[in-house]
Amino acid sequence: MTDREIYSGRILKLLVKYVVLADGKPHLREIVEHLPGAAMVAVDASGQVLLVRQPRPAVGAAVLELPAGLIDPGEEPIETARRELVEETGFRARVVEPLVAFYTSPGFTDELIHIFVGTDLEEACAAQDEEEEIEVVRMPVEVALQRVMQAEISDAKTVAGLLAYARLANPS
């Protein structure tokens, strides 16, 4: 019944904790401590959003997502979002604004994702992440939103980021 660390690895730790609830008894909680991340809704002058598709072993499929990555130690979330956009798509956003932030699944993990909007895009000298196999997919924001509502875009940060962007653009 004592808290313990099960695993400490590259991007996460697994802890088992016992939490006393209203019934006065300790209840097991399995908790994953995960590094925070940042993602970018990058929209070009013609209203197209830059997404990336990459293999995700955790779900056994390639997933269409906002450009995103883990925040390096000491890095500001906005810098992570800028950096990942360049690394993953080869584009730089000259204007970057905060959009929303949320825990991906607070029932078991502290992973927090900060989402930004990037506009005024320009091509950068991109060196794609060596480790990553990433395809850049560009589509009109409206098409991306249709795919969200049809559950064809199925990544929480991408669903939430695109919908928040649409609301910001059209708050009524």
The site for a second copy (CB under 8 A) is made up of: 6-7, 9-12, 14, 16-17, 19, 21-23, 27-32, 34, 37, 55-60, 63, 65, 100-113, 130-133, 145, 148-149, 151, 153-160, 163-164, 166-168, 170, 172
**Strand, helix or coil at 116?**
strand
130 annotated active-site: yes
Pick 14 or 126: Cβ nearer a second copy: 14
Pick 29 or 94: Cβ nearer a second copy: 29
Structure tokens at 109: 């993990």
Residues contacting 41, CB < 8 A, separation 6+: 49, 66, 99, 115, 116, 117, 118, 161, 162, 164, 165
- What's phi and psi for 78, nearest 5 deg? -65, -35
Q: Provide, rounded to whole angstroms, the least separation between the CB of residue 15 and a second copy.
A: 9
The residues assigned a catalytic role are: 130
